[in-house]
Structure 1
């Protein structure tokens, strides 16, 4: 069901204000201090994506919340009846791509010290792929519905795919960002080597059993 133009013009500005406020709060977090503290994961606490897990404390939650809201706003725009939904979609995609620049003040230091900022490069690609997937949600749903027999509703497959895509990309971005900050501290002599990742209890138990 398409969303009316009035709903879009009302909700989009409000949600964008929330996203910008979350970004401002995230930017006030000193990530160089956070990586030196044992915050735990705060979000994404399992070990199912290998080493890609982040210990940036509440920054994890703020970035994830902004990402989810951006995805939701983009979905509203692309499924609306508004005549300017394409322009709004491009505008929202640009904000999504630039989200790390709005959130992470430490990028200035990384650039000044010549540390490769692969986290931002990854985020540009990941956010673009995610935005395209959301924009073509209806087409993907119709494609899935064309296969018979089907055991699930045609809406659930693209929805689950998009959720898993955003979840995985967010985890990887946060991990890459933490690695870059730790690398910058190593280059400046603030730490001898990057901190080992905290292992999940399942991995610790497996390692303990192998040592017997």
Structure 2
């Protein structure tokens, strides 16, 4: 702990990813931040090292996953942007493959952003895909695995998502207790808080998997 934690972030260009990188940069407990992304992102800090990879050929970039004690996965796309097959390819296949490389490289704690309603048996593509990737990552046997299941994310995205925008407007007005929604900054903060708490907790010989639902994330992420 005295030398600081090396964290690896998958998908730092999304809304949660951006907030997470800011949190990690500002936290003195993290001495090195590895960003594994598909394209360069703005991160002007000496602690940050960017590693641009082709997620279609991840096995060619195994060295990019080395050296991290903690991994954070915020990688994802949408069906509207990538199509049904593209969505599954990114949110399930890319994520599980990257997690496998992190596990092989000795990462001891993997943090996965999933979603409320994730269920591999669901008839809805989104929930089904999130449930499938959760199962695949669990099977890798990380010493510690934390799955975050936030509800509707409150943020200002660059790309247009009309239905999500309408939902956000409604929830901002009526969901004042945040039972059905959550800010991306809150999710990012919860991920950092939970990671630091796990660093100081007693280590178990058995692999530990924890699933944090929206209410759990709120408790961790709000001061």
TM-score normalised by length of structure 2:
0.35
Higher Rg of the two aligned structures = 1
Higher relative contact order (CA 8 A, sep 6+): 1
TM-score normalised by length of structure 1:
0.37
The structure that is helix-richer by fraction is 1
